[in-house]
Structures are given as structure tokens and as C-alpha cells.
Amino acid sequence: MASEHEWQAARRRFIDREGGPTPAADDVDLGPLAEQFVTLGQELNIASESGVIGVLERVVQRAHALVPGADMVSVTLRENDGGFHTPVETDPLATRADHIQYETGEGPCVEATATSGSGFTLSRDLARDPRYPAFGPRVVELGVTALCATGMFPGGDPPRLGALNYHFRDAAGLDDVDRDAMLILASYAAVALQSARNLEVEQLRSAQLAEALESRDVIGQAKGILMQRRNASAEEAFDVLRRASQDLNVKLRDVATTIASRHSEL
């Protein structure tokens, strides 16, 4: 991970270059900031294929590298019913700290997810922060004295998808925090998270469709066998299947599968 000196040097090069001649394609110095996020974008694109958890695990790894002063990093996700949970963290203690926020309804993670603004929330002194009278003292007992969070998406209308949470045992770790880089990371994380969720939904739909088509085929086979053996109509054959399913308390598809696979014994 690039040092703070390298980050600042890259920024100065960008400012000095702005307004000047456009450099040749092979002469562009991305700098540590751009290189980190180009790499992150590639990683998240690959991780999205492994699902939501794969994306979030990659995100917390990058977040921890981005804020080396943080002792722990976690992800808060907002549930459809308005609740919260922590699916991924770098230390189980972070999950315990997050759950205190969810129980009390207080804390930077909840605030970054549920309130308007940039999506960046910070507390340097949780023990005395008047915003969190219930959460602060309890989390300090766990050894977490400071915390900051970035909402996903930053700047978007709340409630957001969730938040990236950075836990500090010593508030001095906040001194080198790069707020802009953290907000960019939260944006990347939100896009990748939504992409992974959509992919999982589509995969579920495809699986359900395949199962439905397979069920229809096997039920059709069973109906054909019954129509032939009993000289019955399609409606009568289906009624036989339905009544057998109810009487045996077995799924209609399973009854049809048994008939189709053992028709020679019937």
C-alpha cells in the first residue's frame, strides 16, 4: 500500500499537470492512488462472480490497507426490514462493536447508512461523544475508542446499502485518514455489491426456471404414461398425480419422477 507521502506526491503531480499539455499514453503516471483503485476495480469485477461475500471480503481487505491506522474494518449491510447486520469483518471484535450500534440505534455506522450528507461520519472520542450516549461507553469497554464510517453510496439519498466501518483502539490512528479516498472506496464497494446482488438474483432465477422446466417435463412424462396405461385423458391423468401427491404428502414432481423412472414396473 502506498505511503501518505506517495499519495501527496501523486496529488501534487496531478495538480501541476492539470491545464498543461496532455501527456502521451505511455507517459502517464497513474500514481499510487489511481493504481490502487484501478487494481481494486479489476479485483471487484472478478469477485462479483463469487457472490456478495466474495466482494465484501475483498473490500474489507482493501479498506484495511487504505487505512493502516485502523485496527479493524467491518461492513454494515442494511436489511429490507430496516435492520442491520455485519456479514464480513477483519476481527470478530468489530462485529461485537457493530452489534452494539444496531442494538442502541446509535453510532457512526448507523449514522452513515441512515442519515443525509456525504456519508462520512467520525467520532474521535466515543466515551464522551454526546451523539452516542448509549453506544459510546459500551463500545469503549471493548477497547474501541474511535470510529469512522463511510456510507455506500456516499452522498446518495439515505437509507444507503450499508457502510464501511473503521475501528480504532487509539484515536491517533485517525490522523492519517484520507477522507476522499475512503469515500471513493465506498463508491466502488457499493457498485460491486449491487452488481453481485443482481448476479445472485439472476442465478437464482435461472435455477428456478431450470427446475420449473424439469418439473414440467417429468410431469408430462408421467401424464403420458398414465394416459396410455389407463386410457385416460390428460386432465384425468393429472388428477391422478395430484391426488397421489396429496394422499402420500409427497411433492407432485416427486410422484411424477417415480412414475416416469419406474413405469415398466407399473
- Give me the residues paired with residue 76 across strands: 163
Total tally of structural domains belonging to the chain: 2
Of 152, 145, 203, 197, the closest CA to residue 172 belongs to 145
132 and 214 co-located in one domain:
no
* C-alpha to C-alpha distance for 152 and 114, rounded to whole angstroms: 10
User: Judging by beta carbons within 10 Å of its beta carbon (0-12, 13-18, 19+), is residue 152 exposed, middle or buried?
Assistant: buried
CATH number for 21 = 3.30.450.40
Block means of pLDDT (10 residues each) for the chain, 266 residues, are: 58 54 48 59 57 81 87 90 89 95 94 84 95 96 95 73 93 88 83 70 59 71 79 79 80 79 62
DSSP structure class, residue 34: H
**Which domain does 144 fall in, by range?**
4-201
95 and 215 co-located in one domain:
no
19: left (phi over 0), alpha (psi -120 to 50) or beta: left
User: Judging by beta carbons within 10 Å of its beta carbon (0-12, 13-18, 19+), is residue 143 exposed, middle or buried?
Assistant: middle
127 and 256 co-located in one domain:
no
228 and 105 co-located in one domain:
no
CATH number for 226 = 1.10.10.10
* C-alpha to C-alpha distance for 245 and 257, rounded to whole angstroms: 12
Of 114, 112, 85, the closest CA to residue 183 belongs to 112
116 and 247 co-located in one domain:
no
* C-alpha to C-alpha distance for 236 and 246, rounded to whole angstroms: 15
* C-alpha to C-alpha distance for 33 and 181, rounded to whole angstroms: 8
pLDDT of residue 25: 45
pLDDT of residue 118: 79
135 and 83 co-located in one domain:
yes
User: Judging by beta carbons within 10 Å of its beta carbon (0-12, 13-18, 19+), is residue 205 exposed, middle or buried?
Assistant: exposed
91 and 53 co-located in one domain:
yes
229 and 196 co-located in one domain:
no
- pTM over 0.75, yes/no: no
193 and 226 co-located in one domain:
no
pLDDT of residue 239: 80
pLDDT of residue 216: 74
* C-alpha to C-alpha distance for 90 and 163, rounded to whole angstroms: 15
- Interacting residues of 162 by C-beta distance below 8 A, sequence separation 6+: 75, 76, 77, 78, 84, 113, 151, 152, 193
